[in-house]
Amino acid sequence: MSETRSVELSVGTTGIDEHGRPVTIPLGVRTGSAEVEHEPELGSEHMLINIGPQHPATHGVLRLVVELDGEVVVRVVPHIGYLHSGFEKLGEYRHYNQLIPLTDRMDYLAPMSNNVGLALAAEKLMGIDITERCKVLRVIACEMSRIISHLVWLGTTAIDMGAFTPFLWLFQEREHVYNLQEAWTGARLTTTLTRVGGLMADIPDGFEDELRAWCRKFPKTLDEVDKLLTRNALWCGRTQGIGILTAEEAINFSLSGPMLRASGVPYDVRKDLPYLDYETYDFEVPIGENGDVYDRYLVRFEEIRQSIRILEQALDRLPDGPINVDDPRVILPDKRDAMNDMEAMIFHFKQVMEGIEAPVGEAYFPIEGPKGELGYYFVSDGTAKPVRWRVRPAAFINLASLPKMAEGHLLSDLIAINASVDIVMGEVDR
């Protein structure tokens, strides 16, 4: 007599064996001496293997069901949704400003850039022009986000290939940015930096000097990592020619960001659909030639350097002035005014209770997030809550190209290719 708990198995098989019974695998500890009746029959000679949702190399809770012929990947099926939080639906019950904390939790490696994207989309919907200082500060926020996101990408990709050391070097640099982020917003991860029409807070005293000092110091670490990897024969051997996507394929897959640019398509939202006065900044957009993992590495690496350039320019031009628009319907009044001034109190009450009313219409605003084109789309019926909120998550769309890239490569290459996509499951699943 055995006490075997069972769980149904559905890893790409029909889940039914030849006798018509559901295929099960035993779970837990067996008591008694009964044998396991049937091992799951998983196709012919190919082996079906589950990579994830808990696996060192899936960067979150991505689950890849991989069909292997020896070590060669025959088929990859990405299973997503393990981190699904229903953000888009939640957004239909939130004021526009209340959406911003949700965006923190999407691409949690670059929260400030998400915040900026959402604020810009809402402002486009409402026709709000933000102040000059706010624009520059938002550029700083975006580029800081891009750098830390790429740093995590670089570090984790290096770990996936077995190089552990760059990860810790880069995370130490990332820590500096996080400290700055914390000083600015009070939070390291869930920044909720922006508000519709402005920012939640101005930068604190000393922020500029700290950031400037970091911008000077940080390229040294980058150079060290560069020396360790870029011309390393092992690194080149592991990344060159792996996961090639041609420019045509990349466009057909609707890729964006470094994935697209590594394939040789010079599309960067900052250059092509400039926002926040990006057209006035002097920076280059790196383009790859071969569209392989190595080119994606080079492109992201160069983007970090270009982001530093943008940061320095932004710090140079940072104007004085208000960070918020002067519109009491959009921006919460000062706390003291709200407590003492009747009119301010009414505005405060209306904003907190009713939110900011947007005109009827729709708006889509793309920004160049660290992972690619990050777009927010709103449909408004004239109330303070969107009827439909849709996010165009770069990582989700980029991930769709994974099977195309990985099939035919080795298992090790699958890990490298998966790393090169730069996914964040919070953004993929939303």
Partner 1 sequence: MTPEELKGLLLVSSIKIGVVFAVIMIGVIMIIWVERRGSALLQDRLGPNRVGPLGLLQNVADGLKNFTKEEVMPLQADPVIFVMAPMMSFVAAMLLFAVVPFAAPLPPFDVTLPLIGHVVHEGPVAMVIANLPVGFLFILAVSSIAVYGIVLAGWSSNSKYAFLGALRASAQMISYEIPLAMSLVVVLLLAGNVPLGDIIAFQQQTTWFVFAATLSWLLFHVATFAETNRMPFDLAEAEAELVAGFHTEYSSMKFAMFFIAEYTGLITMSALIATLFFGGWDIPFTTWDEQEATNWSFGTLFRVGMTNLFFIGKTFFFAWVYIWVRWTVPRFRFDQVMHLGWKILLPISLGYIVVMASAVLVLERLGMVHDWKYGMALFAVNVPLVALCVFGLDRDRLLLGARLRSQAET
Q: Is 229 in the site for partner 1 (CB under 8 A)?
A: yes
Burial of residue 356, with CB atoms counted within 10 A of its CB: 0-12 exposed, 13-18 middle, 19 or more buried: buried
Can you tell me which of 153, 184, 235, 275 binds partner 1, judged by CB under 8 A?
235
Q: Is the dihedral of CA 36, 42, 46, 50 positive or negative?
A: negative
Q: Is 63 in the site for partner 1 (CB under 8 A)?
A: no
Question: Is 378 in contact with 397 (CB distance < 8 Å)?
Answer: no
Q: Is 7 in the site for partner 1 (CB under 8 A)?
A: no
Q: Is 107 in the site for partner 1 (CB under 8 A)?
A: no
Angstrom distance (rounded) from CA 137 to CA 90 = 28
Can you tell me which of 71, 129, 182, 343 binds partner 1, judged by CB under 8 A?
71
Q: Which is nearer to partner 1, 193 or 229 (CB)?
A: 229
**Per-residue x/- track, 32-51, partner 1 (CB under 8 A):** ----x--x-------x-x--
Interface positions, 312-371, toward partner 1 (CB under 8 A): none
The distance of closest approach from Cβ of residue 230 to partner 1 in the complex, given in angstroms and rounded to an integer, is 12
Range 265-280 burial, b when 16+ CB lie within 10 A, else e: bebbbbeeeebbebee
The distance of closest approach from Cβ of residue 30 to partner 1 in the complex, given in angstroms and rounded to an integer, is 6
Question: Is 68 in contact with 411 (CB distance < 8 Å)?
Answer: yes
Range 174-190 burial, b when 16+ CB lie within 10 A, else e: bebbbebbeebbeeeeb
**Per-residue x/- track, 236-255, partner 1 (CB under 8 A):** xxx-xxx-x-----------
Q: Which is nearer to partner 1, 269 or 421 (CB)?
A: 421
Q: Which is nearer to partner 1, 139 or 414 (CB)?
A: 414
Residue closest to 238 by CA, chosen among 404, 420, 370? 420
Q: Is 56 in the site for partner 1 (CB under 8 A)?
A: yes
The distance of closest approach from Cβ of residue 108 to partner 1 in the complex, given in angstroms and rounded to an integer, is 21
- Dmax of the chain from CA atoms? 80
Q: Is 161 in the site for partner 1 (CB under 8 A)?
A: yes
Q: Which is nearer to partner 1, 345 or 410 (CB)?
A: 410
The distance of closest approach from Cβ of residue 220 to partner 1 in the complex, given in angstroms and rounded to an integer, is 12
Q: Is 9 in the site for partner 1 (CB under 8 A)?
A: no
Residue closest to 194 by CA, chosen among 109, 312, 96? 96
Rule CB under 8 A: which residues touch partner 1?
A: 26, 29-30, 36, 39, 47, 49, 55-57, 71, 158-165, 168-169, 172, 228-229, 232-238, 240-242, 244, 290, 292, 410-413, 415
